[in-house]
Amino acid sequence: HDADTKNRASDDDDLTIVHGAAELVVGPDEGTGVTVVEGGAFAALDGRVVAVGPTDDVLADYPLADADTVVDATGKTVLPGFVDPHTHALFAGDRSDEFVAKLRGATYEEILAQGGGILRTVDAVREASDEELVANLTAHLDAMLEHGTTTVEVKTGYGLDTETELRMLDAIAVAGDDHPVDVVPTFMGAHAVPQGMDTDEYVDEVVTEQLPAVAEQGIAEFCDVFCERGVFDAEQSRRILDAGREYGLTPKIHADEFAAIGGTDVAAAVGAASADHLLHTGESGRETLVEVGVTPVMLPGTAFGLGADYADARAFLDAGHEVALATDFNPNCFARSMGFVATLASVGMRMTPQEAIRGITSAAANALGRTDGTGTLRPDSPADAVVLDVPTATHLSYRFDTNPVSTVLKSGVVVHA
Ligand code: NIG
Ligand code: FE
């Protein structure tokens, strides 16, 4: 290519242009917020961003007349596609009765200890057919896409035996292959202890039977553990995550949701990509995480649904560290909208709308170890973007009534409008 053709699309290239945005979020700024271009546009060739900036500048290099796809975002806000880095979106059954029980005063831990909660969903998933599992997840992916999510992590953990854990991973792969949303599979055999089983005995099964089978199957990318009082202790969690690492699975951990029992130390020791929940994380746990660069993932929907106190996002942010956000979508937290999570992050944790946007885009991509520009709209980033029918980025947190998403692009292609 000579200089003359450098900035031009050849006939074979697929050129996408999104232009005229009142505000366009490019990516993280030097603090804990995001960089915004007013009157912004971006151009993408074959699914990757090639130019971003003021609309006039972008259109000078990439004329609208050459474009295969044009999105007029005049008066609207354009953000990188949302990345949801923590969900349990594959399940079966209905636990709305537990929601009512909790309103009457039952606690999450009591329900689980009595064989409800996760263990009830395990029964429903074991009984569900493969087709039913795929259909259930697909419907949820559709809802997520409509709300602007273009990449989502999905965990297993409602099988708790080798056969069903592998079936869940298969269903995650099948649903993801057929869907515009990128699906990132996580093995979470250590989500709960099967009823009537000793915890150490189950940890043995996860390490010696489930993990080798999961590695052989080759679908899972991450390994996660519910490190919690009454579930897996720090030592058991570490054993599972170390073993997962040996099989090539990057560790993640559920830490400090109900009690701080050392999950943050485990996260640091195993080099986890993220530590998630952190409702009870204090200063020392926080310092442990930031020292080794584990991304904190906060799940304000869970606190909201449980009526619990929110995680201390401000302590991380005020010390200059970004915070990632996720829905934690599961039968105990029926939330698929990252916009709603942004509102909860602002109202419940005092995150600015710009910090929340970073939390659901580039910080969330960091929680998934993505280094290809996912969660940003910079040259070379995947052209995953959300057009919101709102005048500024601030309105994403500010509004919490209707879905503001008007168009979603995945790899430069309009996948929802
Ligand atoms: O992250 N805390 C453990 N796992 C999920 C809840 C799963 C369930 O209740 O089904 C969570 O909140
Ligand atoms: Fe979770």
- CATH label of the domain that carries residue 12: 2.30.40.10
Residue 46 assigned ligand-binding role? no
- Tell me, yes or no, whether 126 and 21 share the same domain: no
Answer yes or no: is the C-beta of 332 below 6 A from any ligand 1 atom: yes
DSSP string, 348-394: HH---HHHHHHHHTHHHHHHTT--SSTT--STTSB--EEEESSSSTT
Range of the domain at 297: 82-367
138-148 pLDDT per residue, tens? 999 999 999 99
217-241 pLDDT per residue, tens? 999 999 999 999 999 999 999 999 9
Answer yes or no: is the C-beta of 156 below 6 A from any ligand 1 atom: no
Residue 154 resides in a domain: yes
Q: How far apart are CA 387 and CA 19, in angstroms?
A: 10
Q: What is the pLDDT averaged over residues 283-308?
A: 97
pLDDT band at 350 (very low <50, low <70, confident <90, very high): very high
Residue 372 resides in a domain: no
Residue 195 resides in a domain: yes
- Tell me, yes or no, whether 225 and 103 share the same domain: yes
pLDDT at 7: 54
pLDDT band at 42 (very low <50, low <70, confident <90, very high): very high
Answer yes or no: is the C-beta of 202 below 6 A from any ligand 1 atom: no
- Tell me, yes or no, whether 63 and 120 share the same domain: no
Answer yes or no: is the C-beta of 226 below 6 A from any ligand 1 atom: yes
Q: 49: CA distance to ligand 2 center in Å? A: 32
- Tell me, yes or no, whether 289 and 140 share the same domain: yes
Atom 11 of ligand 1 has which residue's CA nearest to it?
Answer: 328
Backbone angles phi, psi at 265, to 5 degrees: -65, -40
Residue 17 resides in a domain: yes
10 Å CB burial of residue 350 (0-12, 13-18, 19+) is middle
Structure tokens at 403: 């879905």
Task: Write the ipTM.
Answer: 0.95
Atom 10 of ligand 1 has which residue's CA nearest to it?
Answer: 118
- Tell me, yes or no, whether 49 and 165 share the same domain: no
Residue 332 assigned ligand-binding role? no
Lowest-pLDDT choice from 9-23, 128-142, 300-314, 393-407: 9-23
In single-letter form, the type of residue at position 232 comes to F
386-397 pLDDT per residue, tens? 999 999 999 999
- Tell me, yes or no, whether 248 and 292 share the same domain: yes
Q: 106: CA distance to ligand 1 center in Å? A: 16
In single-letter form, the type of residue at position 393 comes to A
Query: Could you give the angle at which helices 263-270 and 283-292 cross, rounded to 10 degrees?
Result: 10
Residue 346 resides in a domain: yes
pLDDT band at 12 (very low <50, low <70, confident <90, very high): confident
Whether 4 has a pLDDT exceeding 70, the answer reads no
- Tell me, yes or no, whether 220 and 343 share the same domain: yes
Answer yes or no: is the C-beta of 150 below 6 A from any ligand 1 atom: no
Residue 278 resides in a domain: yes
pTM: 0.97
Answer yes or no: is the C-beta of 186 below 6 A from any ligand 1 atom: no
Residue 310 assigned ligand-binding role? no
Backbone angles phi, psi at 133, to 5 degrees: -60, -45
Nearest to 286 by CA among 321, 251, 310: 321
pLDDT band at 70 (very low <50, low <70, confident <90, very high): very high
Q: Which of 122, 328, 341 to mutate to test the pocket of ligand 1 (most atoms within 8 A of CB)?
A: 328
Point out the ligand nearest to the CA of residue 86. Answer: 2
pLDDT at 102: 94
Atom 3 of ligand 1 has which residue's CA nearest to it?
Answer: 226
Determine how β-strand 77-80 pairs with β-strand 82-84: unpaired
Q: 29: CA distance to ligand 1 center in Å? A: 32
Percentage of the chain modeled with pLDDT above 70? 97
Residue 408 resides in a domain: yes
Q: 15: CA distance to ligand 1 center in Å? A: 42
309-332 pLDDT per residue, tens? 999 999 999 999 999 999 999 999
Q: How far apart are CA 92 and CA 130, in angstroms?
A: 11
Q: 88: CA distance to ligand 1 center in Å? A: 7
Answer yes or no: is the C-beta of 147 below 6 A from any ligand 1 atom: no
Q: What is the pLDDT averaged over residues 369-388?
A: 98
Number of folded domains that form the chain: 2
Whether 2 has a pLDDT exceeding 70, the answer reads no
Residue 120 resides in a domain: yes
Average pLDDT, the chain: 96
Q: How far apart are CA 166 and CA 189, in angstroms?
A: 10
In order of 52, 129, 152, 184, 185, the CA distances from 175 in angstroms are 32, 14, 12, 11, 11
Answer yes or no: is the C-beta of 254 below 6 A from any ligand 1 atom: yes
- Given 367, 385, 406, which residue is the final one in a domain? 367
- Tell me, yes or no, whether 91 and 222 share the same domain: yes
Residue 86 assigned ligand-binding role? yes
pLDDT at 298: 98
3-state secondary structure 29-88: CCCCCEEEEEEEEEEEECCEEEEEEEHHHHHHHCCHHHCCEEEECECCEEEECEEECCCC
Q: 269: CA distance to ligand 1 center in Å? A: 23
Q: 22: CA distance to ligand 1 center in Å? A: 38
146-155 pLDDT per residue, tens? 999 999 999 9
Answer yes or no: is the C-beta of 305 below 6 A from any ligand 1 atom: no
- Tell me, yes or no, whether 319 and 394 share the same domain: no
- 213: domain CATH number is 3.20.20.140
Strand residue runs (E) in 216-320: 222-226, 250-255, 274-277, 295-298
- Tell me, yes or no, whether 382 and 248 share the same domain: no
- Tell me, yes or no, whether 56 and 118 share the same domain: no
pLDDT band at 1 (very low <50, low <70, confident <90, very high): very low
- Tell me, yes or no, whether 257 and 129 share the same domain: yes
168-216 pLDDT per residue, tens? 999 999 999 999 999 999 999 999 999 999 999 999 999 999 999 999 9
Quick one: which H or E segment has residue 120?
Answer: helix 118-127
